[in-house]
Amino acid sequence: MYNREFKFYMNKIIFLLTCSFFSLAINAQTNIIKTDTGYTMMRNGKPYYVKGVGGDKNLDKAIAIGANSIRTWGIDNAQDALDRAHAKGMTVMLGLWMQHERHGFDYNNEKKVKRQFEHFKKVILQFKDHPALLTWGIGNELNLFYKNPKCWDAVEDLAKFIHKVDPNHPATTVTAGINKEVIKEIIKRTPSIDLLCVNTYGDITNIANVKKFGWNGAYMVTEWGPNGHWESPKTKWDASMEQSSKEKKESYYTRYKKYIEPNKNYCLGSYVFLWGAKQEYTETWYGLFTKDNEVTECIDAVEMAFKGGNPDKPSPTLNDIRINKLQAKDNIHLKSEDFYTANVKTAIGINMTETKAIGNKAKYTWRILRESTDKKAGGDAEEAASSVLTRIKNKKSNRIEFRAPRDPGAYRLFVSVTYNDKVAYANVPFYVDERSAKDGEARFLKFKQYDMNSFDND
């Protein structure tokens, strides 16, 4: 009797565990189907349009602005990212970070390619049944500064393996930009990928060229945002001019509304970049958060794009920063240790067009940083630019007086304004020139006019 009861309950437990596992697999199922008008991504048997963020932090905020998915580039934090996303009801495009030719990897070296393949086989087997998994991202921007198209053969090998062991999740690869020859190679060498993913910034206006260049399947935009530093106008000393957060806000909103959302029949969604902060050309260029994890003005634009309507607590906004009434396009030159003014005009951005007065509760922060000397490509890690000790008067207001740095060279003046726990920002590059003896006399006379005790030491 005891044995029969024991076997009965054990069989029941095994049955329940089997059902749970089967349910887990079903819950994790994603597939792409062809329709009369294009393609649709299906999740658990229902249409699923990706409103994603590139990064795995601040998930509650991502959900609040209408996001449903996150993207990772590698698997260093994969288990945690998948678990946290699942707990929040979000999905994950899980990146498999393949090595790049520009970093010295040789795709003619069969042993190294095989070793990379074996590594990712284990990763795929480890995570293929996770309920948060949406799709596999095989490699990121392998075409950036590349010459050897054999990297796509390595992508194909992994895509075929995914199809063999994991029929529940599509396989994709991610390109840097939209390039006719790259798309031709992908079509020829990677027939097993289920959709094409593209990282594009100012060039998003040409996203429809993926079809013109021969890709007739589904695609996603897996990084989009402001103008890239390589696409931006430069000063005469070769410093790229960064958009202000107000200009970026317009870029985020317009690019989503004009080039992503209207193409839903083929574009199955997107991942906005970057859901976090990083030093890349400057400390503010791509992050939707500040380095102190503060929400920036640009997130309001993403919320309006994803959800519609206006944010309950709108961000501050600001017009371009000026030094002595000059803008970045004026190629600003300052004399070493001379005194100058700088200002911005600020408001509260109610929506994409309306503003209201900001009042006197806004917090202003001004800093001078040297122009970064550690500029790289493709998002490679960079050292932060160094700050400069100088004197700034009225640095808690929207108009300051400051003393130019002593050492000649390239710099940037940064300003941020905080209101409603959100931050608007801008910076302007300038160049400090060495002074002549005559300039020195002028500086000394001007220096006497200032009460130096009224200046703050930065």
Three-state SS sequence of 133-192: EEEEEEEECCCCCCCCCCHHHHHHHHHHHHHHHCCCCCEEEEEECCCHHHHHHHHHHCCC
Q: Looking at residue 436, what is its pLDDT?
A: 80
Tokens of 359: 């009042």
Is residue 455 predicted with pLDDT exceeding 70? no
Assess contact for 338 and 354: CB atoms under 8 A: no
- Range in 124-128, 227-231, 376-380 the model is least confident about: 376-380
pLDDT interval class at 9 (50, 70, 90)? very low
Label residue 359 left, alpha or beta by phi (over 0 means left) and psi (-120 to 50 means alpha): left
Section 199-222 average pLDDT: 96
Is residue 150 predicted with pLDDT exceeding 80? yes
Is residue 6 predicted with pLDDT exceeding 80? no
User: For 286-328, what is each residue's pLDDT tens digit?
Assistant: 999 999 999 999 999 999 999 999 999 999 999 889 999 999 9
Section 366-391 average pLDDT: 94
Q: Looking at residue 25, what is its pLDDT?
A: 42
When the pLDDT of each residue in the chain is averaged and rounded to a whole number, the result is 91
Tokens of 415: 């300003």
Tokens of 119: 């590594």
pLDDT interval class at 192 (50, 70, 90)? very high
Section 271-282 average pLDDT: 98
Q: Is the dihedral of CA 5, 8, 14, 17 positive or negative?
A: negative
Q: Looking at residue 448, what is its pLDDT?
A: 46
State the Cα–Cα distance between residues 354 and 238, nearest whole angstrom. 35
Assess contact for 230 and 291: CB atoms under 8 A: no
Share of the chain above pLDDT 90, in %: 87
State the Cα–Cα distance between residues 435 and 324, nearest whole angstrom. 18
pLDDT interval class at 441 (50, 70, 90)? low
State the Cα–Cα distance between residues 322 and 304, nearest whole angstrom. 29
Q: Looking at residue 443, what is its pLDDT?
A: 54
Domains contained in the chain, CATH given: 23-307 (3.20.20.80), 316-457 (2.60.40.10)
Assess contact for 350 and 317: CB atoms under 8 A: no
State the Cα–Cα distance between residues 134 and 43, nearest whole angstrom. 8
pTM reported for the whole predicted model: 0.91
